[in-house]
Amino acid sequence: MRQRIAVAGGGPAGLTFARVMHRHGHPVTVLERDPGPDARPPGGTLDLHERMGQLALDKAGLLAEFQALSRPEGEAMRILDTDGTVLRDWQPRPGARAHPEIDRGQLRDLLLGALDVQWGRGVTEVEPGTPEGVLVRFADGRRETFDLVVGADGAWSRVRTAVSSATPHYTGVTLVETSLDDVDTRHPGLARLIGDGSMAVYGVNRGLVAQRNSGGHVKVYAQFRAPLDWHTNPDRHLGLNRHADLNAGPDADLDPGLDAGLDLADVEAVRSSLLALFDGWADPVLDLLRHGAAFVHRPLHVLPAPHTWTHVPGVTLLGDAAHLMPPLGVGANLAMLEGAELAESLAAASGHGDLDEAVRAFEEQMWPRAGRWAEMTMAGLERLVSPDPAEALALFDEVQPS
């Protein structure tokens, strides 16, 4: 293949695409905005499904290495009531490999392998249809042209504007993430509470989820329904009211613990706000917040679903750039599967086929599947963070293996 192909973004989508292309002998220029692989914390743990993320790794020739690194025991899932009672405790069957967990950093390093990533190359704009090809402009002022530019640059994609005017919108649900280190020795009680995998507690319009990563590291996600500006605006935080009930009016029982002007960088102020929000929940559960280190604010945004566009020769999208959806265990899996599928289609087209036809066929396959997942995960989010906590439990009963 003599075409000049670039992928913007070195996340699960972009790296899987580049790795599968590399396996088929086709070089790809990987353009990543971060200055280096360890420029920021890699994030939490991902469960890779057999027919999605794991299939993609198989196509990249990396399945055996993944199996050596991943944690099948991490499939364990426990649900507690707000008073600490264990409501459900699913344990993986011996030998189960349906969706083992892997740390994002481990997955990134596995995919990186010998790939030659161009770090510190933030794309600002992509202009298809110039006489030299698809023009890419970079944050440092440089420009380069390619025959195909694949946008795998995540939620706030810069490549996306070349094919679509869609932008992400806020779901009404926010996550605040914190983490604990060395949990088995420093917090053995919490380690037992969390178990080998994940633990979740759901209340009215809010939940607390703890996920074990490798090496005794635990990520904790406080999730709640609130306006995007919940930390700045005192009048609009009904969703945060710890006593909120379904029939309460907008001014009912506002929570004094959540004042205006909360500084999200102030660890202790965020901690007290969250403790006020989850006030009344069992002490061991609240210890997840009491012992958490820094807090990271992650309001959840999504793209409209299904998100499709009129095909533009020379540009396409993968992963979150194409179909940002709520984080219900699918986004990275789809991103990787798409990366592998696009690479295989291009490799198959090389030599005899039409590169653009291969991209067009890939898009036709991606859109309906991603649209279905986006709708399912949006409906799932509505049930997980809902006025009726029984909905969250019912959702897990539907999706967990019996």
Q: Which residues make up the interface to ligand FAD (CB under 6 A)?
A: 8-14, 31-34, 44, 46-47, 122-123, 152-154, 158, 175, 298, 319-321, 327, 329-333, 335
Segments of 228-306 assigned E as strands: 296-302
33-36 contacts at long range (C-beta below 8 A, 24 or more positions apart): 33/9, 33/120, 33/121, 33/122, 33/123, 33/139, 33/153, 34/10, 34/119, 34/120, 35/119, 35/120, 36/119, 36/120
Residue closer to ligand FAD, measured from CB, 259 or 344: 344
Q: Which residues contact 206 (CB under 8 A, 6 or more apart)?
A: 222, 223, 224, 225, 240, 277, 278, 385
Min separation Cβ 364 and ligand FAD, Å: 19
Segments of 156-286 assigned E as strands: 169-180, 198-203, 206-212, 218-225
Residue located via tokens 């986004």: 331
DSSP-derived letter for residue 160 is G
Pair 173, 381: CB distance under 8 Å: yes
CA distance 203 to 38: 36
Residue closer to ligand FAD, measured from CB, 45 or 308: 45
Backbone angles phi, psi at 251, to 5 degrees: -105, 10
Residue closer to ligand FAD, measured from CB, 204 or 209: 209
Residue located via tokens 């991490």: 74
Min separation Cβ 308 and ligand FAD, Å: 17
Helix (H, G, I), strand (E, B) or coil at 201: strand
Min separation Cβ 55 and ligand FAD, Å: 13
Min separation Cβ 352 and ligand FAD, Å: 30
DSSP-derived letter for residue 84 is S
Residue closer to ligand FAD, measured from CB, 238 or 342: 342
Min separation Cβ 354 and ligand FAD, Å: 26
Residue closer to ligand FAD, measured from CB, 177 or 255: 177
CA distance 235 to 230: 9
Residue closer to ligand FAD, measured from CB, 255 or 320: 320
Angle among Cα 172, 176, 179 to the nearest 5 degrees reads 155
State how far the alpha carbon of 242 is from the alpha carbons of 79, 256, 262, in Å. Answer: 20, 10, 17
Residue closer to ligand FAD, measured from CB, 123 or 346: 123
Residue closer to ligand FAD, measured from CB, 5 or 238: 5
Min separation Cβ 234 and ligand FAD, Å: 27
- The percent helix, strand, coil of the chain (3-state, each to 5) is 35, 25, 40
Min separation Cβ 203 and ligand FAD, Å: 19
Min separation Cβ 205 and ligand FAD, Å: 18
Min separation Cβ 40 and ligand FAD, Å: 8
Closest Cα partner for 142 from 166, 164, 109, 120? Answer: 120
Residue closer to ligand FAD, measured from CB, 308 or 333: 333
Min separation Cβ 48 and ligand FAD, Å: 7
Kindly give the residue spans of alpha helices, DSSP state H, lying in 187-324. Answer: 188-194, 267-277, 283-290, 320-323
Residue closer to ligand FAD, measured from CB, 81 or 309: 309
